[in-house]
Amino acid sequence: MNSLHLAYAAIGTLSVLLALFSNRIRELPLSGPLLSLLLGVAVGPYALDLFPLSTETRDSLLLEGARVLLAASVMTAALRFPVTSLRGLVPQFALLLCVVMPLAAVVSGTAALVLGLPLALAALVGACLCPTDPVLAASVVTGEPAERDLPERVRKLLTGESGANDGLALLLVGTAVAVVLPLTGPGDAVGRLLLEVVGAVVLGTVLGAAAGKAMESATSRRELEEGPSLVFTLLLAISVLGVARLIGVGGVLAVFVAGLAYNRTVRRGERGPQQNIDEAVNRYLALPVFVLLGMALPWSEWIGFGPAAPAFVLAVLLLRRPPLLLAFTRPLGLRPRSAAFTGWFGPMGVSALFYAAHSAHEGVHDPRLFAAVSLAVAASVAAHGLTSSPFRRMYVRVPGRNRPGGLSESEDASGR
């Protein structure tokens, strides 16, 4: 029996069941990704052992499945707010991407040393874990409760950061891979990666703007039916991802830039129906990836880490982002409670799994890489899935909120 086809059938069937009960799941204290993860554990080799999954099949599914899911997710992030409303946050995004993300990689890599990993491999673990996952972050910043309870500035910062740093993390991951596998010098690797990033920005800008102009033209001439218009941006994401892979530039970053360019070109009124579809796909496409992760969790390697495993988890969850965001409260234009909330909800998820699988594809076959990354991701899915609703309600109850419906951007930026 083909293990890849069996994995497709098992993961797809379990995800369909989760989607069928989505309304009831929303009422539970557990998030959809966490339930998917637990379901994968239940049918995996350490429980019912219903579906055997080889390492090669796991890495292949994670690499391509996470790549497509990230493309859909970063496209959704790029379209969530009007581009014009994000211009005032460019310095804050630069701080998050150019300072906070590398520091998060250093903190996570340092924490990985407690697992007994070599320095180069620990640095690669830190690079894989540094981006904020757009799939899990979307559950925090979208939906009626989030729009009602959270300041728009917080939602914009998490959205923009999680969309951009998934592509830009390629620089850190690629450099770390070059250190682990010294086939070429790190300097050569950095030069090649910079070209991939620049190429992704150019490609995304051109294709996104062209798609936006084409959408405007087709809409004005009434040549576009309602069905294709609803999924147009998802089709655009897949198209840009494919072209980027063909010419050898960063696919996830190219899709995010294309989304921004498209968002800038198309009138906002035409984005409403598309955005509803995008958010739904972003939410439910994630389920198969987390079912797969639950089936593939390397429990024996985790046990082999010994008491260092919980120490690593606590260090990554508590030190990777919260202290950094609190340290940059004023430059980010946030109140301390907003900085604490934003610092905690920088989850690790699909993007970390993608870069771990990407590293394996590049030749890093040390099983401790996936063991460390999957341990941090599983802990993040559990911790952030269990705390998203309670922490949001705690945020609302903190004194100082003058009215319901969330603080405006200017109020939250005042720091008072």
Q: What is the mean pLDDT of residues 347-360?
A: 93
Number of Cβ within 10 Å of residue 298's Cβ equals 18
Contact 181, 364 (CB under 8 A): yes
CB 148 within 8 A of CB 154: no
Distance CA 312, CA 222 (A): 56
Residue 25 included in any domain: no
Residue 392 domain-assigned (yes or no): yes
pLDDT of residue 392: 78
Quick check: is 59 in a domain?
yes
Tell me the pLDDT tens digit for each residue of 245-284: 999 999 999 999 999 999 999 875 555 555 555 566 666 7
Dig out the tokens for 40 from the structure: 């994968």
3-state SS class at 76:
helix
Structural domain contains residue 403: no
**Residue 405 belongs to some domain of the structure:** no
Q: Is 401 inside any structural domain?
A: no
Q: Look at residue 139 in the predicted model and tell me its pLDDT.
A: 74
| Residue 63 φ/ψ region, left for φ over 0, alpha for ψ in the -120 to 50 degree band, beta for the rest | alpha
CB 283 within 8 A of CB 138: yes
How many domains would you assign to the chain?
Answer: 1
Task: Pull the structure tokens for residue 209.
Answer: 């703007």
Q: Is position 213 within any domain?
A: yes
* Closest C-alpha among 109, 199, 134, 112 to residue 345: 134
**CA 114 to each of CA 305, 308, 323: distance values in angstroms, whole numbers, following the listed order:** 9, 6, 20
Task: State the number of CA atoms in the 13 A half-sphere of 201 facing the CB.
Answer: 7
pLDDT of residue 205: 96
Domain membership of residue 192 as a residue range: 3-15+31-396
Residue 26 has pLDDT above 80, yes or no: no
DSSP string, 83-121: GGGGGGGHHHHHHIIIIIHHHHHHHHHHHHGGGT--HHH
Q: Are 241 and 68 in contact (CB under 8 A)?
A: yes
Q: Six-digit token pair at 131?
A: 């981006």
CATH of the domain at 147: 1.20.1530.20
Single out the residue of 316, 234, 206, 199 nearest to residue 70, CA to CA. 234
pLDDT at 394 over 90: no
Residue 157 lies in a domain: yes
pLDDT digits (tens, 9 = 90+) for 79-110: 888 888 888 899 999 999 999 999 999 999 99
